[in-house]
Amino acid sequence: MISHDGLAQEDYKLWLQYSKIQDSKLASQYQSEINGIFALGNSETIQVASKELQLGLSGLLGNKITVQQNSDSENILIFGSKSSLNTDILSSLQNEFEQINNEGYLIKTISLKNKNHILIAGKTDVGVLYGVYHFLRLLQTNSSIENLNIVDSPKINVRILNHWDNLNRTVERGYAGFSLWNWQKLPDFIDQRYIDYARANASIGINGTVLNNVNANALILTPQYLEKVEALAKTFRPYGIKVYLTARFSAPIEIGRLKTADPYDTAVQNWWKEKAAAIYKRIPDFGGFLVKANSEGQPGPQNYGRNHVDGANMLADAVAPFGGIVMWRAFVYSEHDVDDRAKQAYSEFVPYDGKFRNNVIVQVKNGAIDFQPREPFHPMFGAMSKTPLMMEFQITQEYLGFSTHLVYLPKLYQEVLESDTYQKGKGSTVAKVIDGSLENHKITGMAGVANIGNDINWTGHPFAQANWYGFGRLAWNPYLDSEVIADEWLRTTFSNDLNFVNPVKEMMLKSREAVVNYMTPLGLHHIMDTGHHYGPGPWVSNLSRPEWNPVYYHKADKKGIGFDRSKTGSNATAQYATELAKLFDDVKTCPEKDLLWFHHLSWDYKLKNGQTLWNGLALKYQEGVDEVAAMQATWNKMGNYVDETRFKEVQMLLNIQLKEAQWWRDACLLYFQQFSGKELPKGVEKPTQSLEYFESLKFPFAPGNN
């Protein structure tokens, strides 16, 4: 990858460092097993694979790799798609090819004319490319490449990044600089960054990108912009990445000069059909549309007395002739609906089950509120048996301290994916819902709201790169363990030295729980300051819509704290399967991590550890702060294993995180103490400022709030 300056080289290269292998015995073993590479075929994708192998192997092994014209000599790395293999090889691999889908691959040690070789093959060239990245990862993580027999395929079809990028290059909830897409210079100037972006995504199996914000601007659909989108699509194509766009529902009015955007209006239907045809003429493999409609002020079918099915199906019909899909977001809640916000998406969408076209997939956030540090899984998962649902995770840390806090999110993703919906009995996990296996859905997807900007290190925090990486790995296989992913990422990004890998991996795995503790312990949620969501704001109560105010969610008063969603409260528990509703309803069986999500409890309520709720809450806040201090102590010992630039960056960021964790603890406990009327328990540090001080703070510099 290119370098913007010498010092930042490592930062920019992400997990594709390809640093020289330090273990000389292992390096010479690898060298003896790879005498050269031989490409079968010459497509753009195979050329990309060949280039990546040359770059990776020369970096890892410290010498130039020869590109062979044949496989006559021993130990050649042969790569190509099924159609390019000779009949001898093909006949011996029939069984393996039956096990993979169109994006899958096999990496095998084979014998050809009594000579040993390594073969990387797939049904398609993109499958081969994915196999090449897997093979390079084996070397990067110092794994054995003897007697290889790897057969792998993605378990989810649409593995996509949602960029909340505006056309003026600001990024909503973006904490890593401006948008990558330089619309002014496109289509004629293709920044090396676009290519490196595609490489990074292909290396973890991401196969789609939505270029523009869900709060969309109709201009993206004009010929002037489509020409630029076409240039990006062409750049990404060899890497197996399809381009998608967010469609603004009112585009027929704003750029089409129609008087309405009513999905029942024939002129509107025809406008979208013509628009789709024009896009596909430019970009034959265009993926389709993402839509945010009738949510937070965005236009949608309800503006015309129609419903989500009407809107989604109209767009689906427009892209269907070209093989496109529509991802229709379920993130809806209305200021006119007085019901618990956590219930609204379920109430609105579940009655439509089975009514969407078969090229519509409903995109559902992992929890029912909004990307909180912890939420129980969204009750829609498993509740719509006739409709494919795709997962929407947030990679950018809107409610998790932005890119100044080290939070390893695959831990959060795994918690959600492993959650059991019980919708078809025990074992009906969220992962089985979204990979289609629970209801045998043909179209499956996982979206991640990207944390990528034009910062030299892409994500604003060196460790935030792990969240992009981990998202891709879990979209490929939602059953992977977040610990395995952390191990891979540390080895490919920093070092294989176990004195580094083991303690830093432990730090990563604990980091998400630390954030929950110092922000929203025991099921608290959405108590961030208003608008920018930077820092604590449990006191905010003056916003025009009740469900925008933190006081709506914690309901702290003299009697206690928490949102009663049990059958005695909003009855949100009834949206879950009977087994879970029963579990959540009963305060004795409700998991303590979700306690205040489902129950309003007295300050004197006894927790399982014997502490009162007030003491337990205060001690959790302190525990979060202590965990950040422990992360600092761990990192401070790692200077010998990491380049100085990244070591210092992380050190400075952890300093910020510790300060902000203390701020969260102090501000929240002072605020809640007004209601509990109780002293802080022993072991909790006393705040150094007053509540009035914390309430007076303003943050005009908070990023990402466009």
Q: Check if the beta carbon of residue 21 is closer than 8 Å to that of residue 142.
A: yes
CA dist., res. 623 & res. 625, Å (int): 5
User: b or e along 499-511 (b: 16 or more beta carbons within 10 Å of the residue's beta carbon)?
Assistant: ebbebbbebbebb
Residue 672 above 90 pLDDT?
Answer: yes
Given its phi and psi angles, is residue 544 left (phi above 0), alpha (psi -120 to 50 degrees) or beta?
alpha
**Is residue 221 within 8 Å of 255, Cβ to Cβ?**
yes
Which H or E run includes 290? strand 288-291
Which of 507, 529, 508, 515 is closest to 665 using CA atoms?
515
Task: Report CA-CA distances (Å) from 200 to 52, 393, 445, 467, 572.
Answer: 11, 19, 19, 13, 40
pLDDT, tens only, 387-438: 999 999 999 999 999 999 999 999 999 999 999 999 999 999 999 999 999 9
* Active-site residue list: 296, 370, 398
List, in order, residues 6 or more apart from 29 with CB less than 8 Å away. none
CA distance 290 to 272: 14
The string of pLDDT tens digits covering residues 229-269 is 999 999 999 999 999 999 999 999 999 999 999 999 999 99
pLDDT, tens only, 449-461: 999 999 999 999 9
At position 61, the amino acid (one-letter code) is L
Average pLDDT, the chain: 97
Summarize pLDDT for 445-503 with one digit per residue, the tens: 999 999 999 999 999 999 999 999 999 999 999 999 999 999 999 999 999 999 999 99
> Per residue, what are the HEC states of 342-398?
HHHHHHHHHHHCCCCCCCEEEEEECECCCCCCCCCECCCCCCCCCCCEEEEEECCCC
Look up residue 435 and give its two tokens: 């990979």
So what's the pLDDT on residue 9?
86
482 exposed, middle or buried (CB, 10 Å; 0-12, 13-18, 19+)? buried
pLDDT at 6: 52
As a whole number of Å, the end-to-end CA separation of the chain is 31
pTM: 0.98
pLDDT band at 7 (very low <50, low <70, confident <90, very high): low
Q: Could you give the CA distance from residue 205 to residue 638 in angstroms, rounded to a whole number?
A: 30
Summarize pLDDT for 266-287 with one digit per residue, the tens. Answer: 999 999 999 999 999 999 999 9
Residue-level pLDDT at 337: 84
